[in-house]
Structure 1
Amino acid sequence: MNPSEPVATETLSSKMKDVIDVLAMQREKRNSLQKSVTIDYTNVNDTFTVARFIFECGFKLDAHPLTIATAATLYHRFIREATPQGYDVYLIASTCLYLAGKIKDDVLKIRDVMNVAENTLHRGSQPLELGEQYWAIRDAMVQAELLIMRMLKFQVVSTHPHKYLLHYLRSLQAWFGEDEWSKYPVAKTSLALLQDFHHSPAVLDYPPNFIAIACINLALQIYGVVVPLMDECDQLPWFNVYCKELTREKLWEIMEKIMMAYDQEPETRDSC
């Protein structure tokens, strides 16, 4: 092992400590404000806010978390291929949610998606009647679905970090032991971090297994939890047991990207 590596790791850890503390406070603040904060989507259309729109609509439709994650991924991929200024981003977002339901076999009726999207954009609006506006929006969504499919070259099925995350968490639970594992909400926090990371297009930049490990490691850092028995592994990082090719530097890079996503939250931006 390079003699300088432990020093480099210690430097990274000390550098990130304050940021991790801030992240924990941001998540606590977000949880307390989540029910009271209402975004006026008609006045803002940045990437984070549109992704949040997808999540809000998905929750209202009782969509599966993987369906919502798929929709967010589709949207980020589309925006990378297109010029956002040339499209109605909320129409594209709604269509991504509808398309994701088909991909994940989590059927979301187009009329339900339309009504939820309209009510989320225009708070307090009534369900769409079967009239000119209804058919215009429906036709626009059908055309948008074809556009998204063409822009993504019909490659709309992807591997999500979720399956890796659940596998690693189950393994770590056995590694820690039931009593020790139950002391900290590592699993719940890891899943929440993964969900929140889908608000950022950076979720497209890394392999899904890398992202899963980064979410777990960030949760461990937040609660100051150390994976047991690592002293007996010749300082082999715990994550290399699951993924040999993941380096410490790449892991911290992904963790920083996850934390940067929180800087884009409206309440975070307003408080800066």
Structure 2
Amino acid sequence: MPLWYYDKKDLKSTPSIHDGVDAETEQRYRREGCRFILDLGFRLGLRSETMGTGAVFFHRFYMFHSFKQYPRYAMATCCLFLSGKVEETPKKIRDIMKTARLILEGARERYIPTLGDEKGDLILQYERILLPTVKFDFCIASPYSFLKQYAKTIVGDKEQIRQMFQMAWTFVNDSYCTTLCLQWEPEIIAIAVLYLACKLSKFEITDWTTKKENSKQKWWEQFVEGLTKDIIEDICHQHLDLYSKSNLSSPGNGTVGNPSIMLTPTQTNSTVTSPIQPISIESPSTSRSMPSAKRVS
């Protein structure tokens, strides 16, 4: 089984960067490609897990190939097409192409030709490149399942927990616009977004179903042994950086760049209300790595 987790220094030495794309531009391309996957998947009525798998394929692909060689919107379309089959929620290539072209109409219509013809021949060609690049590894867990599992263990006011869980769910959506899925396992990302949602909603987890009497254990330690607060807060800072780069004024209110997308676990368009105030999160003193996070060979 391939190991898909990279150190931060590896993310600064990608094929795109070696091909002359600066780091900031590459990050923007990744954000735009993943937003496109989320928008396309939402319009096609796909599940959150399918969109998340497509985004993971997208991020992994560009650890081996350059954005200069493979246009982001075409590859994003290809990744969602593949993830639909992997997650057993397939969509016809013609329907995907029609919707993808519709999304790019207007300000981004200059990118429509990069998608190829309406039949999707180019996307099918790209799929033959994508498959070996992701090493035919289709066992992709998402933070969504872990988030649901963790939230069920929390003891407290049900309405507060519901609102906090809904906010954490939107944070998972937005996390795919970052490279966090290349750095950390999905269970760790789920813990981090839950931690961030608790900070924003001012909800402190003090009791949970498996808590032992007089235990000094942190709530997340029941799920991932050895996970430190430094690592969690580093992930939170990376996540919050996304909003400042994307001109999104309100973290927790939907997928970055398009607040109508995937706002809740049931894909409704209701808005999460949250206090937009400075968040007290300590800056990590050092860059830390979990023992299980290794480079892909």
Shared fold (TM-score, shorter chain, > 0.5): yes
Residues 192 and 109 (structure 1 numbering): CA distance in 2 closer, same or farther, change over 3 Å? same
Question: Would you say the 8 A contact 2:206–2:219 is kept in 1?
Answer: no
Which amino acid is the alignment partner of residue 56 of structure 1?
Answer: D
Aligned to 2:159: 182
Question: Would you say the 8 A contact 1:149–1:156 is kept in 2?
Answer: no
Question: Would you say the 8 A contact 2:37–2:80 is kept in 1?
Answer: yes
Q: How does 1:66-215 map to 2 (within 5 A)?
A: 66-123=49-106, 133-135=117-119, 138-172=120-154, 175-176=155-156, 180-183=157-160, 185-215=163-193
Question: Would you say the 8 A contact 1:51–1:72 is kept in 2?
Answer: yes
Pick which of 233-242 and 247-256 moved more. Answer: 233-242
Residues 213 and 102 (structure 1 numbering): CA distance in 2 closer, same or farther, change over 3 Å? same
Deviations 1:93-151 (CA, angstroms, capped at 9, x unpaired) = 001111010000001111110001111112499xx9xxx9434xx21011001110121
Counterpart Cα distance in 2 of 1:183 and 1:164: 19
Counterpart Cα distance in 2 of 1:189 and 1:110: 33
Aligned length: 215
Counterpart Cα distance in 2 of 1:45 and 1:260: 12
Which amino acid is the alignment partner of residue 135 of structure 2?
Answer: K
Residues 50 and 61 (structure 1 numbering): CA distance in 2 closer, same or farther, change over 3 Å? same
Which amino acid is the alignment partner of residue 111 of structure 1?
Answer: R
Shift of 1:231: 11
RMSD: 2.7
Q: How does 1:215-234 map to 2 (within 5 A)?
A: 215-229=193-207, 233-234=214-215
In structure 1, stretches of 5+ residues that fail to align are: 1-43
Aligned to 1:7: none
Aligned to 2:219: 238
Residues 202 and 183 (structure 1 numbering): CA distance in 2 closer, same or farther, change over 3 Å? closer
In structure 2, stretches of 5+ residues that fail to align are: 1-26, 250-255, 257-297
Deviations 1:223-248 (CA, angstroms, capped at 9, x unpaired) = 11112348964432111122222111
Question: Would you say the 8 A contact 1:69–1:198 is kept in 2?
Answer: yes
Structure having the higher helix fraction is 1
Which amino acid is the alignment partner of residue 107 of structure 1?
Answer: P
Counterpart Cα distance in 1 of 2:206 and 2:75: 46
Shift of 1:261: 2.1
Q: Percent identity?
A: 23
Counterpart Cα distance in 2 of 1:133 and 1:181: 50
The alignment status of 1:262 with 2:247, answered yes or no, reads no
Aligned to 2:273: none
Counterpart Cα distance in 2 of 1:215 and 1:164: 11
Counterpart Cα distance in 2 of 1:244 and 1:59: 35
TM-score, reference length from structure 2: 0.66
Which SS does the other structure have where 2:152 is aligned? helix
